[in-house]
Structure 1
Amino acid sequence: MTGSAGPMFGIARREHILEELRRSGSVMVRELATRLGVTEITIRRDITALADRGLVTRVHGGATLRSALDTTVARTPDASGPPLYRIGMVVPSLSYYWPQIVNGARVAAAAGRVQLVLRGASYDPADQRRQIAALLESGVHGLLVAPEVGGSDGLAILTWLDALDVPVVLVERRAPHSAALRRVEWVSTDHEFGAKMAVNHLYEQGHRRIGLALARDSPTAPQLRRGWEQALAELGLDREVVAATLTDVEGTEREQRFGEIVSACRDTRTTALIVHADPQAILFEHHCTDHGIDIPGDLAIVAYDDEVAENGTPPISALRPAKEHVGRLAFETMTSRLREPSRPIQRIVVLPELNVRESSAARRGA
């Protein structure tokens, strides 16, 4: 960035680098130097400073966002002594949704003398428990975890977590009231409200028969269904619409399932569909296009998660949970608990953001 204002100051350059990384995932030294009107050596120094704080990963010729698979401890040359805290984090996936949450926690940890130790699990409660137990065995001051919370398996792991002698913050999870937990805290997205936002948006576009298609076995699905049902009731909308379950099947079986949903939309006169999650929404949109169904003319779509929804044709409107913010807030909740053990228990919800795109444009004649 050149001109009469001169080159950016160091902190502004580094903020620019981080913003570009959040947008595209990687940056190149040569391109940044040209764009910002500084030498390549200056950009390399900026990247080194960011890497030393655990915010980026240096690669040949540039940098990438800090990988969720990178379990090294961020160097903090400006801090004296060993880390104040060692916090363990267990998430059920390192490839979808969760990397941004992990990055939010890592950025917050890098700003202070805190070691964040990450373990990837799966959606299997037994595997989650093994990974948490391994962290406890290694010695941690607290745990950020995203365990199963439903059914008897969920109740068992939640009860176990509530009885641990280290503080626990659930991330993107909320325990049912029936669990009667006394110590566990949490930070999660208000998915129910997100579903209401989607219904209200579609209602404003002229839709009166709004359906739902949810990924099978997703921990988010029950909350989305509750929000959808509540929104239909509050708006006085007909509930005789599509309420489908999507599976992870491939090939002809998937096409058959999409065909069943399209037929159900026609039979029930459903004109809009909320689809969770993004990959299923894009694949469903492809199916509709291939079979002559106009999006949004014949059927409007709103996706949930907003990981890849903008890549649809047309781009798909989507609810986007504030993933990095959730990760950072969960970390801050934990460090606040460690600094002040007697403070009141906090259980925080964060609202998602609706990004409106072409797939939910107003109905013709509405």
Structure 2
Amino acid sequence: MTITAEERRARILDAVRELGAVRVVDLAERLGFPAVTVRRDVAALADMGLVRRSHGAVSVPVSEGSDKPTGRSRGVGMLVPTVGSYFDEVIAGARSAAAASGTRLVLGVAAYGTSGDRAQVEQLVQSDVDGLLLTPDWMVDSDSEDGAWLCDLPVPTVLVERRAAAGSACAKLDGVSSDHRHGVLLALRHLATLGHSSVLLAARTDSWTAHQVRAGYEECVHRLGLEPQPVIDIRRPGADSDAVAAQIAEAAAAGVRAVLVHNDRDAIQLAPLLRARGLEVPDDVALISYDDVFAALAAPPLTAVSPPKRAVGAAAVDLLLRRLESGSSLPTHHVELLPELKIRASSDSAR
């Protein structure tokens, strides 16, 4: 897989910071990049003051009389609720944008439901960062009322994949997120064009994105003139799939033969469970997944709503750097990026 120069240089920086000092040829071998490419990237990083070159070796620059690296003009702390799926791509986008601007990225993780946001943010602030990218553990927009402490942080803050409620204290914070309601509209409109007059939604209950998908479903069913259906709750992700399949099969018997599932993990498990009930995807049930992290790997490959995860991370870094440069002269930005619909085999039997 081809990677960008920014991603390559970010890997080089990580390796140098881990090793302290390393020969360029050894660095190239360790990372699996051509030595000539690594030399060129090291030269560019050295020009930005992020590394130091000396006699064929590269190291983190250290100021005289100090054990702290120099040349790091900025540091950005990033708090996410999980790693290993959706937010991996958000982090990758932020990491590439940070590396391209000579900014170090410091990561913190506060898992859903652990009330660990505040402790992680305090740790990030203590790591000498100039600004923060935060994904607080909110379920719905109104939860931002409980996050007023975010407005008192000593450094500029950008919300990532979260939107503060209008009029709340956090509404004055910058933010970059996916427009998940638009993503739901894309999915339901596609199914409507295939002739479906009613679409089920099976959705998780444990994340802000899930609640945005649910709200989008309610809005878009009305907007498109579809027959509304009760939402199927996925309360135990990965463990409720058999019960969800049973409810989809029951609805299919009543003529509802299209379903949007949040998210990939649960959607991927449904095809074999539906087959065991005599229903084939897509011939008997059209299936669309929300998130598009693993959807293309399913059998059959799943049509999926694909939020611009990497672009969200990159845009959040860019906005934060603009805020650091401009201060209060920059108006508050609430940026929403539009998802895409990736059409694959699971939604249209004619395909």
Q: Which residue of 1 aligns with 2:38?
A: none
Q: Which residue of 1 aligns with 2:317?
A: 331
Indicate which of 103, 125, 137 corresponds to 2:126: 137
Query: Following TM superposition, by how much is the alpha carbon of 1:177 offset from its aligned partner in structure 2, in angstroms?
Result: 1.6
Indicate which of 206, 214, 235 corresponds to 1:247: 235
Instruction: Output the CA distance in 2 between the equivalents of 1:79 and 1:336.
Output: 18
Q: Which residue of 2 aligns with 1:128?
A: 117
- Is residue 17 of structure 1 aligned with residue 5 of structure 2? no
Instruction: Output the CA distance in 2 between the equivalents of 1:174 and 1:259.
Output: 34
Aligned in 2, Cα 1:254/1:354: closer, same or farther, shift over 3 Å?
closer
Q: Which residue of 2 aligns with 1:100?
A: 89
Aligned in 2, Cα 1:21/1:294: closer, same or farther, shift over 3 Å?
farther
**CA deviation profile, 1:128-147 (whole Å, cap 9, x unmatched):** 22111111233221110100
Indicate which of 338, 345, 349 corresponds to 1:358: 345
TM-score by length of 1: 0.77
Aligned in 2, Cα 1:53/1:111: closer, same or farther, shift over 3 Å?
farther
Q: Is the 8 A contact 2:281 2:346 kept in 1?
A: yes
Aligned in 2, Cα 1:206/1:63: closer, same or farther, shift over 3 Å?
farther
- The AA in structure 1 aligned to 2:340 is E
- Is residue 306 of structure 1 aligned with residue 266 of structure 2? no
- The AA in structure 2 aligned to 1:78 is D
Q: Is the 8 A contact 1:213 1:242 kept in 2?
A: no
What 5-or-longer segments of structure 1 have no aligned partner? 1-15, 23-46, 65-74
- Note the 1:1-366 alignment, pairs <5 A: 17-18=2-3, 51-52=11-12, 63=32, 76-80=45-49, 82-124=71-113, 126-150=115-139, 154-155=143-144, 157-239=146-228, 241-248=229-236, 254-267=241-254, 269-341=255-327, 342-361=329-348
Query: Following TM superposition, by how much is the alpha carbon of 1:211 offset from its aligned partner in structure 2, in angstroms?
Result: 1.1
**CA deviation profile, 1:70-91 (whole Å, cap 9, x unmatched):** xxxxx93121352221111011
Q: Is the 8 A contact 1:54 1:106 kept in 2?
A: no
Q: Is the 8 A contact 2:48 2:102 kept in 1?
A: yes
Aligned in 2, Cα 1:63/1:278: closer, same or farther, shift over 3 Å?
farther
Aligned in 2, Cα 1:50/1:349: closer, same or farther, shift over 3 Å?
closer
Instruction: Output the CA distance in 2 between the equivalents of 1:349 and 1:150.
Output: 18
Instruction: Output the CA distance in 1 between the equivalents of 2:220 and 2:32.
Output: 44
**CA deviation profile, 1:261-292 (whole Å, cap 9, x unmatched):** 3223434x211000000010010122112222
Query: Following TM superposition, by how much is the alpha carbon of 1:293 offset from its aligned partner in structure 2, in angstroms?
Result: 0.3
Secondary structure, in 3 states, of the residue corresponding to 2:176?
Answer: strand
- The AA in structure 2 aligned to 1:290 is A
Instruction: Output the CA distance in 2 between the equivalents of 1:171 and 1:276.
Output: 19
- The AA in structure 1 aligned to 2:347 is S
- The AA in structure 1 aligned to 2:265 is P
Q: Which residue of 1 aligns with 2:52?
A: none
Secondary structure, in 3 states, of the residue corresponding to 1:302?
Answer: strand
**CA deviation profile, 1:208-267 (whole Å, cap 9, x unmatched):** 11110001212112211222222211222211x24201133666x642342133223434
Secondary structure, in 3 states, of the residue corresponding to 1:77?
Answer: helix
Aligned in 2, Cα 1:110/1:232: closer, same or farther, shift over 3 Å?
same
**CA deviation profile, 1:79-136 (whole Å, cap 9, x unmatched):** 1352221111011111111111111111111112211111122113621221111112
CA RMSD of aligned residues (A): 3.0
TM-score by length of 2: 0.80
Secondary structure, in 3 states, of the residue corresponding to 2:227?
Answer: coil
Instruction: Output the CA distance in 2 between the equivalents of 1:165 and 1:50.
Output: 27
Aligned in 2, Cα 1:17/1:257: closer, same or farther, shift over 3 Å?
closer
Q: Is the 8 A contact 2:241 2:269 kept in 1?
A: no
Instruction: Output the CA distance in 2 between the equivalents of 1:214 and 1:114.
Output: 37
* Count of residues in Structure 1 that have an aligned counterpart in Structure 2: 311
Instruction: Output the CA distance in 2 between the equivalents of 1:60 and 1:328.
Output: 29
Percent identity between the two aligned chains: 32
